[in-house]
Every structure is written in C-alpha cells, then in structure tokens.
Amino acid sequence: MMSLNRNNYLLAGDIGGTKTSLALYQSTCLTDVPQAEATYQNDDFRGLENIIAGFFDDNAIRPDYAYFGVAGPVINNRVQLTNRDWLLDADELKQKFNLQSVHLINDLVATAMGAVHLPERALQTLNTGHPDKQGAVAVLAPGTGLGEAFLIRNGESLLPCPSEGGHCSFAPVNPRQERLLRFMLNKLNHVSTEEVCSGRGIPDMYDFLKSEITESPELAQSIKQGDRTRIIIDAAVEAVDKNDVDQNPAVETIRLFVEILASEAANLMLKVMATGGVYIGGGIPPRILPFLKRENFMDSFCKGTYREMLSKVPIHIIVEPKTALIGAAAYGISMLNQPGEKK
C-alpha cells in the first residue's frame, strides 16, 4: 500500500504478554476514534517489529512518533516484557521504522493517563466524592498481578509516575486477614499485597478459606477442571446472581479480595495524596462488579485518622478495555505539546 508521510500523526500501542493493540492518532489532540486500530495475538509473531510492519502494510498513514505502553519495567527506554521473551529497545524501533522519536512507558503509566480521559460511560463510579482539581490521581490495576501508578499536577499538565507499590508488604487489617497472612507465610518468604490482591492470589485465598468454610463437592470438582482463578470468580458471581452466598468459599474469596483491594487503594491514596480521585482498572474488577458495591468498598477504604478525607475521594472502576492504548496516545500528545519534543 502506498504510504502517506504525515508528521501530524502518532502511533500508540498497548503491548502485553498475550496481545498487542496499535492505533494511529492525530498528534495534536486526543480523538474518540483513532484513524486506524488493530489488535494482534503475540503468539502469531516473532516480535513487536513484525507486528508494527504488518500494521503499516495495512495502513497508508505513516506517523513520525510512537508511544507504547508496555507490560514491564522501563529502564533507559528499553524493557524486557514481564510475561514474554521480548526485549524492546526504543532506539532500534526508531531506526527500523524511520521515526523521529519512540518512547516506551510502563503499561500502568499508560493506564493512568488513559483513565483521566475516559468518558463517564467507560467508568463505574463507586463514590462521587469531591474531586480536587489540583490533587494527584491514583490508579490500581489488579489483573494477573497488581499494578499501581499515579499522576501529579504540573501546572495544567498531568505528570505520570510509575510505581511498584503492589510489591510492598501486605498489611492485614483484621483477624481474618491476619490468618491469611500466616497461611501465606507458610508458602512465601515475603507476602506482598500483589500475592493476595491479584489473579494469581485468588486461588491461594480460596485454599485458605476452605479451611474455614466447607467446600461443596460440586464446586470442588469444578475447580479441578481448569483455570482456578476464572472458575472461582465465575462461581462467586453466579452465586450472587442466584442469591446463594451463604457458606460459599468462592463468594468469601471475592469478598476478601475486595476488602484488601479497598484497603490498598486507601494506602495509595494517602501516600500520594490522590484527592483528585482513585481509578481501579485491570482485568478483574469488571468481572466482579456485583461485589464492588459502594458500601462494601467504602467500609474498608475509609479507615484510620483520615477517614473523613477518604470518604470525599472519587472512586471509579474502569470498564474500558482500551484504557492503556488511549493513555499511550494521551501521553504522546502531552509530550509532543512540550517545547523541544518535535524535531
């Protein structure tokens, strides 16, 4: 396909372990609909370069800039993906595709930038609160792991900041959580919040609760047959739909998960003074919306000396799956509007 060389477009990307999404946006403003967009299964490609090449083959527009949210720690504009054997180097991508600049950012930074640009329909609001337009914004994303990031104000701009807060030590806040910590310490030398507030932590919490709540034979058989995290979540949501929640370890697992998530959200809010709001993304929250009721969440969120301040913080659940892609574009547009970025 004949290419159209235009310097007023950027390539945005959300690069995870399983799939990669790419989109072309205008570099001057963030639009609701990109010029082009596609999602690829990573198993079908040798590396990101092949995906980008295929995307360009299918689209006439050639951008001058690229901004990618990547599932891994970014150091010196290079990143080793956490769950895939891909090493990405921004300089190499810049040279290969004749781009003026390429930036790699952590996927949670991209999610944070995307969250504040989402329309109301892409959010489930747990607490309207009183948003502070000058306050920081916090983002948590429980999926396979627990990602965290935050945005701070810099004049009229938002400055995204990465964090590895999910790997900080898990701090129990009640007797049941204390028992959970002791259970986890029999398996691990260090129990981070991620170990009990993520997709991979859900089966461990279920096993812990089985010692306190009798597991039905039907549920026990079902959980043996596949992805334990998915089956536990589905069983819990189905039980709520049927109003069959008494003495159900799957239900109690997700209740405990929400309790810990709310507590960790409050911790992050206080550490960065996120009076501008807390956004909760990741793959798990949209799947457990029946458990994310305002009263349940806020009871665990509003604790301690600053419970009154916490009660005024806006809290939103992100239900838009393309948030990180939108955020990569928003980050790029913000960077390109700063002096010295365009060449």
pTM above 0.85, yes or no: yes
How big is the CA angle at 331 (ends 318 and 35), to the nearest 5 degrees? 85
Domain 4-111+323-336 fold: Nucleotidyltransferase; domain 5 (3.30.420)
The answer to whether residue 176 scores a pLDDT higher than 60 is yes
Strand partners, 67: 12, 103
The answer to whether residue 230 scores a pLDDT higher than 50 is yes
Name the residue with higher pLDDT: 146 or 338.
146
17-49 tens-digit pLDDT? 889 999 999 988 888 889 999 999 999 999 999
The answer to whether residue 343 scores a pLDDT higher than 90 is no
pLDDT at residue number 141? 94
Q: Where are the domains of the chain?
A: 4-111+323-336, 119-319
Percent of the chain with pLDDT over 70: 97
| Tokens linked to 222 | 């079902």
What band does 108 get if pLDDT is binned at 50, 70 and 90? very high
Range 124-129 average pLDDT: 96
Range 122-148 average pLDDT: 94
The answer to whether residue 6 scores a pLDDT higher than 80 is no
41-80 tens-digit pLDDT? 999 999 999 999 999 999 989 999 999 999 888 999 999 9
Where do we find the tokens 């919040």? 193
| Tokens linked to 20 | 């990669």
Closest among 191, 188, 149 to 168, alpha carbons compared:
191
Closest among 81, 149, 82 to 110, alpha carbons compared:
149
The answer to whether residue 319 scores a pLDDT higher than 90 is yes
pLDDT at residue number 339? 64
Query: Hey, is 280 helix, strand or coil?
Result: strand
188-219 tens-digit pLDDT? 999 999 999 999 999 999 999 998 998 888 88
Average pLDDT, the chain: 91
Domain 119-319 fold: Hexokinase; domain 1 (3.40.367)
Name the residue with higher pLDDT: 160 or 315.
315
Q: Where is average pLDDT lowest: 120-124, 294-298, 327-331?
A: 294-298
User: How many other β-carbons are positioned within 10 Å of the β-carbon of residue 291?
Assistant: 20
The answer to whether residue 5 scores a pLDDT higher than 70 is no
What band does 341 get if pLDDT is binned at 50, 70 and 90? low
The answer to whether residue 342 scores a pLDDT higher than 60 is no
